[in-house]
Structure 1
Amino acid sequence: MNLLILGATGRVGSEVLRHALRDGHQVTALVRNPDKLAFADQDLVHVAIGNVLNEADVEAAVQGVDVVVSALSTDGADTLSQGMPLVIAAMKKAGVSRIVTVGTAGILQSRISPDLLRYQSSESKRTLTRAAEEHHRAYTLLERSGLDWTIVCPTYLPDGERLGNYRIEAHYLPENGTQISVADTADFVYQQVFSREHLHTRVGIAY
């Protein structure tokens, strides 16, 4: 399978990349700085130097891929909300329908206030909501895109080994879930590349 990974130099994205290389898949990684890209087999990775905020770079990167995996962070700016429309447009132009993204537990539904998302309610303990607002904009764009999307929504993301034992729930954070490692988040994200079980779904993930 041919994968395009956005955010391949980040914590979750680099782990997804390792999974894909381990299994022998062809991977395109769209990166601004290739020096930050860690991978074992250069023959399996096409490094596309560019920016997700550049339409031509995104269109070139998405050519010939089967699935897009986005592990882009909010980058302290509006990378998600500005880049996602370009990704969606490029996928449609290239005839690619499947995208798996990494979001945040903040955009899951609140159990306390079901009409609100977690970051909008007292369920979230975070005082700063800028990152969640960016992920919310990306979610809204995907929801309206007509693509086959899945958003994996982890809660607190410490480093740690892959346990392979975690809970998931559609549209909600599993009850009393407080954390999930980067490795286990990447494990579940990678599984979604080959699954259509959670189409058009925000999936909460936690131990």
Structure 2
Amino acid sequence: MKLLLLGATGRVGNEIARLAAKDGHQVNVLARTPEKLPSGMNAFQVYRGDATVKEDIEQAIEGCDAVVSTLSSDGGTVLTEAVPLVIKAMQDRCIKRLLTIGTAGILNSRTDPGLLRYQSSESKRKLTRAAREHHDAYLAIKESSLDWTIVCPTYLPDGPPTGRYRTEKDFLPLEGKQISTGDTAQFAYKQLSSEEFLHSRVGIAY
């Protein structure tokens, strides 16, 4: 499989890149600062560019079979700018599989049916700008014709994979408080070869 990986310089993106390299996948990486990429990526095809620039996405996606995005809300509008470009480039090339990392804030609320967690009393965060941007990205992906999965971790400390975690479609597992970057990456990477959570968000926590 040949992948386009966005967000490879981030914590979860780093781990997914390592897993893909270990399995011998071909990986195209689009990064604004390739110098921040971890060692071991010299075998990847690295493109210096920006996920919010149409031409950069189109160049990096050529020949790929799937797209993995670990782009985060950076205080700006990266997600809401990049996601429509990715969707359009995928549809134009008949690439179906899209895997992204979201946030637990865009999962369904248990306490307030009809709302998402960030909109409800479940959320303890006073600032919702990042969750709102993830929400907009989710809506764009949901309305597309792609085979998508959005992995939605809760509090995300650095840590290695343990392989012991809980997942739930469209909800955060009960009493879920945190999940490591390693386990998030491991679970997300496995979804590339799974149809269990197609066309859905999936919460992950210990």
Q: Tell me the secondary structure at the aligned position of residue 87 of structure 1.
A: helix
Q: Distance in 1 between matches of 2:8 and 2:14?
A: 5
User: Which residue number corresponds to residue 37 of structure 1?
Assistant: 37
- The answer as to whether partners of 1:153 and 1:205 remain within 8 angstroms in 2 is yes
CA distance in 2, matches of 1:32, 1:115: 38
Q: How far does residue 41 in structure 1 lie from its aligned partner after superposition?
A: 4.7
Is residue 170 from structure 1 mapped to residue 180 from structure 2 by the alignment?
Answer: no
Report the secondary structure of 1:131's partner residue: helix
Residue 11 of structure 2 corresponds to 11
Q: Secondary structure at the match of 2:45?
A: strand
SS of residue paired to 1:183: helix
1:1-207 alignment, distance < 5 Å: 1-43=1-43, 45-207=44-206
- Deviating beyond 3 angstroms after TM superposition, the runs of 4 or more aligned structure 1 residues are none
CA distance in 2, matches of 1:161, 1:64: 32
SS of the counterpart of 1:193? helix
Amino acid at match of 1:15: E
Output one character per residue of 1:136-168: Cα deviation in whole Å (capped at 9) or x when no partner: 000000000111000000000001121100000
Q: How many residues align?
A: 206
Write out per-residue CA displacement over residues 38-84 of structure 1, whole angstroms, 9 at most, x where no aligned residue.
131522x0001110111011011111111100000111111001110
Q: Which residues of structure 1 form unaligned runs of 5+?
A: none
Cα distance, 1:188 vs structure 2: 0.5
Q: Tell me: CA distance 1:41–1:52, structure 2 relative to 1, closer, same or farther (3 Å).
A: closer
CA distance in 1: counterparts of 2:62 and 2:27, whole angstroms: 12
Code of the residue aligned with 2:31 in structure 1: it is: V
Is the CA contact (8 Å cut-off) linking 1:18 and 1:39 kept in structure 2? Answer: no
Offset, 1:196: 1.4
Identity of aligned residues (%): 57
RMSD over equivalenced CA pairs, Å? 0.7
Cα distance per residue 1:12-40 (max 9 Å; x no partner): 00100000001111000000111001131
- Residue ranges of structure 2 left out of the alignment (5+ in a row): none
Rounded Cα–Cα distance in structure 2 between residues aligned with 1:161 and 1:188:
12
Q: What is the TM-score of this pair, normalised by structure 1? A: 0.98
